């Protein structure tokens, strides 16, 4: 069982966001070398959940549900990442009452699209995003635990 917890520790959150294997895929402008997540950390509608070492998900509460943005270090990929993400989804459902998760994946990011399917997310189809261009959108109903 993966133990996860919510955090607002800027050092921990920024260490994930600035990981060289993560930063290029976070949706920041091309060439961004360093980000400070302080404004997001301070936003009460955003929750960061982590295992403290290899996995972190930023959950953003929106009118349609909780959008999730995953950050997985190279040490937490494949089955390990799936297990960690599902533990974080459970944490979100129990701690906040969340029932709907939403995800948006750039169409050319095949590993993340595969990951969403492995998490039991349903494709809502392909659409256009101002930030990423063509994307596949996903949705998952969370069970009451």
* Dihedral Cα 92, 100, 1, 26, nearest 10 deg: -80
* Domain spans, the chain: 5-104
Q: Note down pLDDT in tens along the chain; length 145 residues.
A: 789 999 999 999 999 999 999 998 888 888 899 999 999 999 999 999 999 999 999 999 998 999 999 999 999 999 999 999 999 999 999 999 999 999 999 999 999 999 999 999 999 999 999 888 999 999 999 986 5
Q: Taking a C-beta distance cutoff of 8 angstroms, is the pair 64, 58 a contact?
A: no
* CA 83 – CA 86 distance, rounded (Å): 5
């Amino acid at each position: 069982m993966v133990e996860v917890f919510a955090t607002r520790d800027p050092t921990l959150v920024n260490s994930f966001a600035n990981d060289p294997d993560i930063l290029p895929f976070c949706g920041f402008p091309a060439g961004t070398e360093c980000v400070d997540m302080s404004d997001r950390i301070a936003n009460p509608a955003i929750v960061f959940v982590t295992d403290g070492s290899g996995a972190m998900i930023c959950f953003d509460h929106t009118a349609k549900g909780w959008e999730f943005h995953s950050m997985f270090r190279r040490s937490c990929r494949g089955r390990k990442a799936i297990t960690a993400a599902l533990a974080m989804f459970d944490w979100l459902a129990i701690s906040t009452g969340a029932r709907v998760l939403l995800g948006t994946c750039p169409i050319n990011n095949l590993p993340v699209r595969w990951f969403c399917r492995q998490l039991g997310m349903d494709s809502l189809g392909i659409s256009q995003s101002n930030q990423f261009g063509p994307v596949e959108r996903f949705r998952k109903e969370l069970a009451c635990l």
